[in-house]
Each structure stands twice: as C-alpha cells, then as structure tokens.
Amino acid sequence: MDPAKREVLERQGYEVVGEHSGVKVCHWTKSSLTKGVGCYKETFYGIKSHRCLQMTPAVDSCNLGCLFCWRTQEWGSDSLAHADDPGFIVEESIEAQRHLITGFKGNPKVSTEKFDEAWHPNQVAISLTGEPTLYKRLGEMIDEFHRRDMTTFLVTNGTTPAVLRRMASEGRLPTQLYVTVAAPNADVYRKLMAPKSEHEWEKLKETLALLPSLDTRTVIRHTLVEGWNLGWEDEYAALDATAQPMFVECKGYSFVGESRLRLRVENMPEHRVIRQFADTLGDRLGYKVAAEREDSRVVLLTRDGALHPIVS
C-alpha cells in the first residue's frame, strides 16, 4: 500500500493488514465493552457486539462513489489487482483487533470476562469500507473465518453478481449476505451512488434476481438519505420482491466522516421518517416490522414480523 494512504488510514483509526485490508474497532464494540450496550445487529440478529470484528479486504477500493459514504474517496481505486493470502488476512485481522482493544483491559468499566470474550471474536462484519467482492479470494477468506467458528456478515453494493455465483457454486457464502439498495431507480442511482461505469445499476438488478437462489440468510439494506432517495416505496417494493430477502433493513444515513463534504446534516432523516417508510414499504411488500432501534435510526422488516437470531 502507498505509504501516504496508509498514514491517512492509520490517522483515522484503521489498522492496515497486508496490502489491501483493514480493521477498525466499531463504536458499538466499545459501547458493548464499557456500557453493555450493543449495536442494532445484536438486537436484530443475536450477535455479540463486543465479539464482533469489523474489517474489509478492500480498504481503499470501490467501484462506486456514494455521496453518503464516510470514507475518503479521492485516492481510492475501482479495482483490486493484488490478492493477499486469505489465511494471512484472517489471522492478521484478529491480531489487529486485539492490538486495537488492548487498552480496554485496564478500563475499570470493562469486566475481565467481557474483555476475554472480545479477545476471541466469534463474528466478523466484512463491511468496514470499500467493496469487499473486489477481493478475488473472498470466498476463501470467508472459509477461513468459518474454520475458526466465526459467523460472517458480508455487505456488498451488489454490482458483482458473478462473484456471488462463484461463491455459491463453491459453497463459500457468508452466514448472512447484505445487499445495499440505496436507490429506487437508475436516475437516483446515478446521482447518489456515482457509479464509475455505466453498468452497475443493471448488475445490481442481476444480483437481486440471484438472491432467492442463494443458500444463506439474505438482507436488503435501504440506506435512506433525506432529500435524495426517500419515498418511491412502490419502486423499492418491486426491487425487494425480486430479491425475496429474509430481512429488509430501513436505515437512516448518518452525517459522519467525509460524507460531510458532500451532504448536509439535514440529509439525516429522523427515526419517525424511517419508521413511516418501513411501514409503507412493509405494506407494499407483505412484510411486517420485527424490531427497531431509534438510536441507530433503523427498522427491521421480516415476512412474519419475527426475529430470527443467528444460531452459533
């Protein structure tokens, strides 16, 4: 990795792993350790936030330039030619997490038992930044995490359906697969997601059509930005109906990181707006509200209105 890029990432709290991966301790991991309050994924899916490793195998690579993204985009690449060994990435990511949380061992607010659990993460969120499916050995990396009895949540922008097909054919899908759908149509997609080629919207729709055939838990995440992509419930419902996901997350944009250079604080929708959107979308789709977290401005929809926690 370019030393200047590494310096920027480390200054932002990342620990760089190898040539193209990174780890950063999540706010909710810290909150779980010190306050016993985990993130919405703990409420919705039963994972333990203090045992969750947040990482990416594509720390500075993405084929979109989403306005709501918190990352630095000016020097990022839209491809990833190099591919570090998956086992190396997994081991070094766990070690990076341990290095980053070391200081919590002496914190009087953190119990010895909870710190020991955090020292041995059992869940990984492959979603920190960048587009992880650009990493050519992603399926092998997921296998390495599974060999260590870790559950895997993979978040993708949905523009690489061929990668998901290959992972499915190899039996290397994550425990739970998220696809971000932050636009109801091609026009909003082009303006808000700022794709770096002309084919990403069609590729996303191809991914949505693929989802029902994948043997894993699937999630559609609607990242909602006031003044940009709220409303259009009929269009979102049509996209979701194609995907037939197990879960639909309706989540408000947060005014953080370098998204503050592109958007305004007024673009953060209030929770009541998110709940109204979720209610309307659920009615169109035939899904029901299963849970919500106002502190994260997120509402979960499922077909039966029930939670389905991860069984580990």
Question: Which tens digit of pLDDT belongs to each residue from 40-88?
Answer: 999 999 999 999 999 999 998 999 999 999 887 766 678 888 899 999 9
As a whole number of angstroms, the distance between CA 226 and CA 273 comes to: 9
pLDDT reading at 5 higher than 90: no
Position 205 scores a pLDDT of 98
Position 64 scores a pLDDT of 94
The first and second tokens of residue 54, run together, are 């947040």
| Confidence label for 1 from pLDDT (cuts 50, 70 and 90) | confident
Give the mean pLDDT of 164-171: 98
**243-287: pLDDT as tens digits:** 999 999 999 999 998 999 999 999 999 999 999 999 999 999 999
| DSSP letter (8 states) at residue 292 | E
Position 8 scores a pLDDT of 85
Give the mean pLDDT of 14-25: 96
Position 2 scores a pLDDT of 83
| Count of residues in the chain | 312
- Other C-beta atoms lying within 10 Å of the C-beta of residue 102: 11
Beta bridge mates, 52: 123
Q: Which ranges constitute the DSSP H helices of the chain?
A: 3-11, 27-35, 40-45, 86-101, 112-119, 138-147, 161-169, 186-193, 200-210, 233-243, 271-285
Query: Does residue 287 sit in helix, strand or coil?
Result: coil
Query: Does residue 298 sit in helix, strand or coil?
Result: strand
**108-142: pLDDT as tens digits:** 999 999 999 999 999 999 998 899 999 999 999 99
Helices 161-169 + 138-147 axis angle, to 10 = 50
Domain boundaries, the chain: 3-302
As a whole number of angstroms, the distance between CA 219 and CA 126 comes to: 14
CB 209 within 8 A of CB 246: no
Write the CATH number of the domain with boundaries 3-302.
3.20.20.70
| Confidence label for 197 from pLDDT (cuts 50, 70 and 90) | confident
Query: Does residue 53 sit in helix, strand or coil?
Result: strand
As a whole number of angstroms, the distance between CA 41 and CA 296 comes to: 10
| Confidence label for 154 from pLDDT (cuts 50, 70 and 90) | very high
Cβ neighbours for 90, distance < 8 A, ≥ 6 positions apart: 141, 144, 145, 148
CB 265 within 8 A of CB 254: no
The first and second tokens of residue 233, run together, are 């419930």
In the block, tokens 């296998």 appear at 143
| Confidence label for 101 from pLDDT (cuts 50, 70 and 90) | very high
Position 71 scores a pLDDT of 82
- Give me the chain's average pLDDT, please: 96
Give the mean pLDDT of 214-230: 98
R_g of the chain, CA atoms, integer Å: 18
Computed from CA positions of residues 87, 29, 258, 281, in that sequence, does the dihedral angle turn out positive or negative? positive
Computed from CA positions of residues 156, 159, 165, 166, in that sequence, does the dihedral angle turn out positive or negative? negative
Position 27 scores a pLDDT of 95
Position 70 scores a pLDDT of 86
Position 4 scores a pLDDT of 84
What is each CA distance from 294 to 17, 167, 261, in whole angstroms?
Answer: 34, 35, 25
CB 290 within 8 A of CB 305: yes
Q: How far is CA 126 from the centre of its chain?
A: 7
